[in-house]
Structure 1
Amino acid sequence: MRYTLLLHYPEQSGSLSPEELAEGQRAFTSYAATLDAAGVLLSAEVLQLSVATTTVRVRDGVLQVQDGPYADTKEQLGGTFVLDVPDLDAALEWAGQAPAVAWGGVEVRPGAVFYADGQWRPNA
């Protein structure tokens, strides 16, 4: 079953020392390598800071483009890991090992449908 781990945490724009930044990168690299070695990692992505976000929506039939994130919160979505694991318990076990749990939340959300090889496929 596919689960996406959504990593939410306060953004650290410029407030981390080079050593702290390097340590965080090592922690995420190690975590991704562990997931990959276990054969459960499908993809992972670190997102740029939310100030680089552009939000698009339609209101009253008019396309609106807004600089910045739509959500106004202290924590932002910082990255994702997509896993293929047997069940929610396994996904929660992996989420509990994510470095981001030390400074934010990790949302675990099951996938319902995914797109691969030119087709929409139900999550099985």
Structure 2
Amino acid sequence: MRYTLLLHYPEGDVESIGAEAMAEGQRAFASYATALQQAGVLVSAEVLQPSGSTTTLSMPDGVLQVQDGPFADTKEQLGGTFVIDVENLDVAIGWGRQAPSIAWGAVEVRPGATYTVDGTWQPNT
């Protein structure tokens, strides 16, 4: 079953976090990604650009609204995702608790409903 680990944490850059802390975080994520890959559960991973580069779309009353920036007005933003394919929720939680960002934010573990393979929708079972 596929689960997406959504990593929420305060945004920062080298100036606000510090070069050493940034490098340490990058090493921790590289190690985490390697562990997921070696376990054979990693489907994909994304590090997202800062939330300021977000464009949010909505269509109230059938009229497209385009908003610069993130929709959520919070200190924590979605910083990245890991999609994993594991046996069950307990295993997904086990991998989620190892995400380095859990030390400074939240990790949401959400099962997928469907996914595509070569353009064909597949149920996530």
Q: TM-score, normalised by structure 1?
A: 0.97
- Partner of 1:108 in structure 2? 109
Over the residues paired in the alignment, what is the CA RMSD in angstroms?
Answer: 0.8
After the TM superposition, which parts of structure 1 deviate over 3 Å for at least 4 consecutive aligned residues? none
Structure 2: distance between partners of 1:117 and 1:81: 20
Shift of 1:16: 1.4
| 1:7 and 2:10 aligned | no
- Partner of 1:62 in structure 2? 63
Name the SS for the 1:60 alignment partner: helix
Structure 1: distance between partners of 2:81 and 2:95: 13
Bigger share in helix: 2
- Partner of 2:50 in structure 1? 49
- Partner of 1:77 in structure 2? 78
Structure 2: distance between partners of 1:46 and 1:8: 11
Mark the runs of 5 or more structure 1 residues left unpaired by the alignment. none
What amino acid is the match of 1:29? A
Structure 1: distance between partners of 2:21 and 2:28: 11
For these two proteins, the number of residue pairs brought into alignment is 124
Shift of 1:10: 0.7
Identity of aligned residues (%): 68
What amino acid is the match of 1:107? E
Structure 1: distance between partners of 2:110 and 2:2: 9
